[in-house]
A and B are shown apart, each in its own frame.
Chain A
Amino acid sequence: MEQNIKNQKLNENRILLSHGDGGIKTSELINSLILKYFDNKILSRLEDSAVISGIENTKLAYTTDSFVVKPIFFPGGDIGKLCICGTINDLATSGAVPAVLSMGLIIEEGLEVNILEKILESAGKVLKESNTNIVTGDTKVVEKNSMDRIFINTSGIGFIKDSVNISPARIKPGDKILINGSIAEHGLAVLSSRPEFSFKTNIVSDCAPLNSLIEDILKISDKVHALRDATRGGIATVLIELSEKSHTLFDVFEEKIPVKREARSLCEFLGLDPLYIANEGKMLIFVDASHADKVLDAMKKNKYCHNSLIIGEVIKKMEFGAVAYKTKIGTTRFLDKFYSEQLPRIC
C-alpha cells in the first residue's frame, strides 16, 4: 500500500467503481476521507489486520452488525452515527468497554462524495465521543442500481473486567427494571423521513452511544444483573426475550413507560404500538432492588438519560417466562412477540 498522504482531496464528485477495486483510486479514497475522520495509530498502518497487543486474561466481547437503514439521513442521525452507536451499545450491553471497531463499506457507484463524507464525519464524531477507534476496514463499490446507495457493516471488540458479570441468567425475582428515557422515537423518525410518508413531525431519533452510561453505573454498583438495548422490535421484544432467557415473570407498568406525546399521537394515527418500535439509544437495565435508586441517580446524570425511570420489576421464577403488562386502567395483559414489521391501519 502506498504511503498515506494526509489531507489528500478526491477529484471526483461521485464514487466510482475504481474507488473499490483496491488500486490507486481506493488509496485516494482512504487517504482523503477514511483517514480524515478515523485516523489512529493502528488504522494508519493500513495493514490487512489490526494487531492489538497487551491483552491477557481478559474477557473479550465481540459483536458485528450490518446497517441498511433507509433513508440514510434521518432526523437525529444518519447511517454513520447509527453504525457506530449500534456496535458500541451492543458491546456495552455485555458490560464491555468498547475498544476497537472495524468498518466494511459497500457503496453504490455514483454515490455523491459529499454524502459519503458526511456519513464518515458523523461516524467519526461518535468514535471520538465514545473514545473508540476504527482500526481496520474494507471498501467495495458495486455497479449502479445493484444496491441502495450505501450499506455498512461494523464489528467491535470490547474488554470486560473480571469483576463484571452481565447476563440474562443473573436476572432474579425482586430485580427492578429501569430504562433511560422515552421510547419509539428512532423508528418514527426514520419512518417520517421516507418519501411515501407525507406527515411533518418534530420527532428525532434517539440514536446515541451508551457506553459511558454503562461504565458509570458499573462503577457504582456490582448488582447490575442484565442489560439490553431495545433496538429492532422495541422494548416489548427485548423484555419478552429476557423473560424467556431468565425464566422469570416481569411486571411492567404502562403508566411508567415514557412515550412522548407526539410519538404517541403518531402511533395512534398510524395504528402502531410504541412498545414494538425500534430505539437506538435506549437501554433496559435489570438491577437488584437494593441498588435501584442509586443506579437511577447515576443514570440521570448522563446527558442521554435525564429522564430515566423504573418501569417494572421481576416477580417470580416461571418456566417459560412472561411479561405481564399492567395497563393504566388496572387490567393486565401479556406481551407477545410481533410476527413482522407493524403495518399502519386503514381507517
Chain B
Amino acid sequence: MNDKISNIINKIYKISAALPQINIMEVCGTHTMAIVKNCLRQILPSKINLISGPGCPVCVTSNSDIDNIIELSEERKNYIFSFGDMLKVPGSKTSLYEKRSEGANIKLCYSPADALDFAVNNPEINVIFIAIGFETTAPLTAVLIKRAFQNNIGNFFIYNIHKLVPPAIQFLLDSESKNNIHAFLCPGHVCAVTGSIPFDFIARNYRKPCVISGFSPEDILESIYMILKQIVMDKPSAEIQYKWVVKEKGNQYALKCINEVFETGRSYWRGIGVIENSGLILKNEFKNFDAKKWFKIKDKNIPEPKLCICGDIMQGKKKPFECLLFGKKCTPDKPVGPCMVSSEGTCAAYFKYEINKT
C-alpha cells in the first residue's frame, strides 16, 4: 500500500472511530466500478457502507425504450448509431447486439459526431443516434442537434433518453431511502459540466454531506474522508474534491448548449419510476429531430422481468448478491437486467470483481 493511501486510511479510521455505521451512496456508475475494481471495501472500516446509486444511464433505460429502438432498426433505411454499452441491454425479447447479427443496421460509434457525418454523407439513409447519458453527454448531443438544424440535415434523428442526476437524488431523498443514506459521493464528470451548485440542495435542504469526487482510489478515499469530516463537524456542504476538473459554476458553454436545445420534463427511470423534471426533452423548434415522434413510435409498457431487482439495487436498498438471479440466471453472458450488462452496472461490477474464488 502506498504512503498516500495509508495516510488517508489511517485518517478515515481515526475520524470514524466514534461514529455509528455511515451509509454513503456513490451515485455514479464509474465510481461503482472504481470501488469494486480497487476493492476499496477491503481497506475501509466495516462501518463505512458504500451503497450504489442510480448513476448508470444504461441501467435506468427501460425495456420499452430498447424495444422501441429495436423497432426502429427493423426498417432497412434506418441506421442506428449507438455507444457500445447499449448494444447488449436486453429488451423484452432481444437486444440490439442480436438484431445486428440478424442484419439490422446497427453501428457502434465512439463519438456522436460520427453519426451526423454519416447522415450528411448518406442522405438516403435515416440516421438515428441513441442519445443516452446524463449531463456529461447531453452537451455533445445538443451541439449536434444545433449543427444539424443550421445545415438543414433532414435525415438525422436522436432517440432521446438523456436524464439529469440531481432530480434523481432528490427523489431518493424524498422517499423512504432518505433515512438509509447518510451522505453522497457525487459524480465527478457530471459535475464537470453542471458545477457543484445544482448539488447544494443536498446539504442545504436535507443536511446530508456531499462530496464531488474524482475516480482514482486516492480521490475516492479522500472524498470519503471529507464526508466523514463534515459529519463529525456537523457542517454538511457540497464540497469539491475533484478540484482540477470541477468548478463551482461548471462548464458554462456546455450548459448553454444544453439549454438552447433542451428543456426539462418527466422521465421514466427503470426500476424507480417516473421522476418529474429529470429528463431532457427537445425544445419545440428541434422536435423534428426526435426519432420517437418522427417515426411515430408508441411505448409498449412492457413490465420488467420478474425477480429482477435492478431498481432496488440502484436505489441502494439491496446489493447484487441479494438478487435471486445474480450469477445464476443473470450473468454478463445472458443478462436479465441492464445492471449486469453495462460496463458501469452495479451487478456487472460485482460479478466481475467481487466474486470470491477461494
Contacts and interface: CB of A to CB of B under 8 A. Distances in A.
A320 B113 contact: no
B30 A344 contact: no
A138 B300 CA distance: 54
How many A residues touch the partner, as a band? Answer: 20 to 34
A198 B354 contact: no
A346 B57 contact: yes
A335 to B, nearest CB: 9
Contact of B37 (A333, A342, A343, A346): A333
A24 interface: no
A344 B355 contact: no
Contacts of B357: 320, 322, 324, 334
Interface string A318-344: 101010100111111110101110111
B320 interface: no
Counting chain A CB atoms within 10 Å of each CB, the highest count among B42, B108, B110, B113 belongs to: B110
Nearest to B58: A346
A270 B2 contact: no
Given A329-B38, A334-B357, A343 B137 contact: no
A173 to B, nearest CB: 15
A283 B46 CA distance: 40
B343 interface: yes
B110 A199 contact: yes
B133 A327 contact: no
Counting chain A CB atoms within 10 Å of each CB, the highest count among B42, B217, B352, B357 belongs to: B357
A347 B357 CA distance: 31
Contacts of B356: 334
Given A329-B2, A331-B43, A333-B354, A345 B110 contact: no
A345 B110 CA distance: 9
A331 B132 contact: no
A129 interface: no
Contacts of A249: 358
Contact of B107 (A196, A199, A329): A196
B1 interface: yes
Contact of B42 (A271, A332, A339, A340): A332
Contact of B85 (A197, A338, A345): A345
Contacts of A328: 2, 217
Nearest to A271: B343
A346 B132 contact: yes
B57 A270 contact: no
Interface in B306-358: 331-333, 342-344, 351-358
Given A332-B39, A344-B84, A196 B108 contact: yes
Contact of A322 (B40, B42, B88, B358): B358
Given A196-B110, A329-B2, A329-B217, A346 B133 contact: yes
A198 B57 contact: no
A144 B206 CA distance: 66
Contacts of B355: 334, 336
Interface in B70-115: 83-88, 107-111, 113-114
Interface string A100-128: 00000000000000000000000000000
Contact of A331 (B40, B58, B85, B358): B40
A339 B37 contact: no
Nearest to A272: B343
A76 B91 CA distance: 40
Nearest to B8: A329
Interface string A245-278: 0000100000000000000000000110000000
Counting chain A CB atoms within 10 Å of each CB, the highest count among B113, B190, B351, B352 belongs to: B352
A345 B29 CA distance: 10
Nearest to A332: B39
Contacts of A197: 110
Contact of A329 (B1, B87, B111): B1
A198 B85 contact: no
Contacts of B332: 338-340
A345 B40 contact: no
B333 A339 contact: yes
Contacts of B342: 345-346
Nearest to B138: A347
Contacts of A334: 355-358
Interface string B44-65: 0000000000000110000000
B133 to A, nearest CB: 5
A38 B252 CA distance: 61
A346 B189 CA distance: 12
A268 to B, nearest CB: 8
13 contacts: A198-B114, A327-B37, A327-B38, A329-B40, A331-B39, A332-B39, A333-B36, A338-B352, A340-B332, A344-B110, A345-B84, A346-B58, A347-B57
Interface of B: 1-2, 5, 29-30, 36-40, 42-43, 57-58, 83-88, 107-111, 113-114, 132-134, 136-137, 189-190, 217, 331-333, 342-344, 351-358
Given A196-B107, A329-B2, 19 more contacts: A196-B109, A198-B111, A198-B113, A199-B110, A270-B110, A318-B358, A320-B357, A322-B357, A327-B37, A329-B1, A329-B5, A329-B40, A332-B42, A340-B88, A340-B333, A344-B84, A346-B57, A346-B137, A347-B136
